[in-house]
Chains A and B, each alone.
Chain A
Amino acid sequence: MHIAEGFLPPAHAVAWGVASAPFVVHGVRSLTREVREHPESTLLLGASGAFTFVLSALKLPSVTGSCSHPTGTGLGAILFRPPIMAVLGTITLLFQALLLAHGGLTTLGANVFSMAIVGPWAGYGMYRLLRRYGVPLMVAVFFGAFVADLFTYCVTSVQLALAFPDPSSGFLGALGKFGSIFAVTQIPLAVSEGLLTVLVMRLLVQSSKGELTRLGVLLTKKDARTGSEAMA
């Protein structure tokens, strides 16, 4: 989903940067508050960022005969809420822009908007919605991660279609073109990301019950008795 360096017209690059900045600033505040109030969560924050690092470096072949990579942002969004994921995603994108010439500084705002903001919010929204209707935790985690991944690529397609509308078929024509490159390729990869996120969540349930209960992912015994108030 990385829009390459210099591949967005300056006005678009600036606009996406302006749109993303408040989310990242708010995210940095949430992150520092979380670390100050719960120093013990630093390790799990690191693990959530690390998951994004691994998954966004995994280039996987897809059914369209091209390769793409997952984003790994659903896990952190479910655990720590999306604002914090905006920071962790931005760090990952900066690493790739500076060291890998993958993405770029001029397109950072647009890439942050798709991968670190919309993806995590969409995934988190999906997860919360399913949990509210009593869907089992791991099923909700799967669809949360799936949606976070897929939405990221849909937003990238929209961003490119806005910047490069097709001369004959306009915005929608271009959206179809970029969508078939990004979104269709991404469907099986989003399934992979969902499965990997479930795997890590299962390991976390084994290893870090206390932490997950504090974060509201697992219910306490009291919550379970009185109905799922922690999720409301």
Chain B
Amino acid sequence: MSKSAKTNLLLVLAVIALAVLPLALGLGDDKEEPFTGSDGQAETAITEIEPDYEPWFSPLYVPPSGEIESALFALQAAIGAGVLAYYFGLHRGRRQGEARARERQQAESAASGAGESGASQVPEPSQVPGASQVPGASQVPEA
């Protein structure tokens, strides 16, 4: 594994460790309901400060169950991850394509360069190093 890939892996492991440690150490054990959402806790705090407060508007659509809600959250994450994966996949493909084009160009310029230096006789394509591996290279005069 390259050094860069190792660093990336370490970053991911650190994030996982930060997420797992509170669970493993049982940091929510002193609560009635461990690991509830902080948004919900804020709602509770509001009703503690102002017991008479009534929310004056309700959501237009409420997911009918916790399962549906989890599904929609997963959908949100999946859309995001999909776009990110598309972005990096596309760029990886482009880089590979460019690298291949560069290799081909180098082979071609090597072929035409050999043609110029051997001024007196035109070399056979088979004598030019690399030309035989690159299909069509001998037909293109200059890169």
- A6 B56 Cβ-Cβ under 8 A: yes
For chain B, the bracket of interface size reads 35 or more
Instruction: List the A side residues contacting B92 at CB < 8 Å.
Output: 207
Q: Are A67 and B76 in contact (CB under 8 A)?
A: no
Q: Is the CB of B4 within 8 A of A206?
A: yes
B121 within 8 A of A: no
Q: Given A96-B76, A199-B8, decide whether A46 and B83 contact each other with a Cβ distance below 8 A.
A: yes
Q: Name B76's contact: one of A100, A101, A174, A189 (CB within 8 Å).
A: A100
Q: Does A152 contact B (CB under 8 A)?
A: no
The reply to whether the CB of B97 lies closer than 8 angstroms to some CB of chain A is no
Interface presence of B14 (CB below 8 A): yes
Supposing A53-B77, A96-B76 touch, asked if A4 and B22 sit within 8 A by C-beta, the answer is no
Q: A192-B19, A199-B11 are in contact. Are A58 and B72 (CB under 8 A)?
A: no
Q: How far is the CB of A138 from chain B (nearest CB, A)?
A: 10
Do A68 and B38 form a contact, CB below 8 Å, given A4-B55, A50-B81? yes
In the complex, are the beta carbons of B38 and A101 less than 8 A apart?
Answer: no
A54 at the interface (CB under 8 A from B): yes
A105 interface contact, C-beta 8 A = yes
A10 at interface, CB cutoff 8 A: yes
Assuming the contacts A47-B83, A47-B84, asked whether A100 and B72 have C-beta atoms less than 8 A apart, the reply is yes
Contact of B7 with A98 in the complex, beta carbons under 8 Å: no
CB contact list, A44-82 vs B, under 8 A: 44, 46-47, 49-68
CB atoms of B76 and A97 under 8 A apart: no
- For chains A and B in complex, what number of residue pairs have CB atoms within 8 angstroms? 181
Is A223 an interface position by the 8 A CB rule?
Answer: no
Chain B's closest residue to A106 (CB) is B57
In angstroms, how far is the closest chain A Cβ from the Cβ of B82?
A: 8
The verdict on A43 contacting chain B, using a C-beta distance below 8 Å, is: yes
Q: If the complex has contacts A100-B69, A101-B59, A182-B38, are A164 and B53 also in contact, measured as CB distance less than 8 A?
A: yes
Contact in complex: A53, B18 (CB < 8 Å): no
Please, how many angstroms separate the alpha-carbon atoms of A138 and B128 in the complex? Answer: 47
User: A199 with B12: in contact, given A5-B55, A60-B19 (CB under 8 Å)?
Assistant: yes
Q: Which residues does chain B contribute within 8 Å of A64, judged by CB atoms?
A: 27, 38
Knowing A60-B19, A160-B46, A202-B8 are in contact, say whether A102-B88 is a contact too (CB < 8 A).
no
**Which single residue of chain B is at the shortest CB-CB distance from A66?**
B38
Closest to A60 in B: B19
- Shortest C-beta distance, B41 to chain A (Å), equals 5
Separation of A65 and B35 alpha carbons in the complex (Å) = 5
Considering only residues 8-37 of chain B, those with a C-beta below 8 Å from chain A are: 8, 11-12, 14-15, 18-19, 21-23, 27-31, 34-37
Which chain B residues border A3 with CB–CB below 8 Å? Answer: 39, 42
Given A99-B72, A104-B57, 19 more A-B residue pairs with CB atoms under 8 Å apart are A3-B39, A5-B57, A5-B59, A53-B76, A63-B27, A65-B28, A97-B59, A101-B59, A101-B62, A101-B69, A105-B59, A164-B49, A178-B45, A195-B18, A196-B15, A198-B11, A199-B12, A207-B91, A207-B92
Could you jot down 5 A-B contacts, CB within 8 Å? A54-B76, A57-B74, A65-B30, A66-B36, A206-B4
8 tightest Cβ-Cβ pairs between the two chains A and B: A6-B55, A65-B28, A53-B80, A50-B83, A54-B80, A207-B91, A101-B59, A6-B57
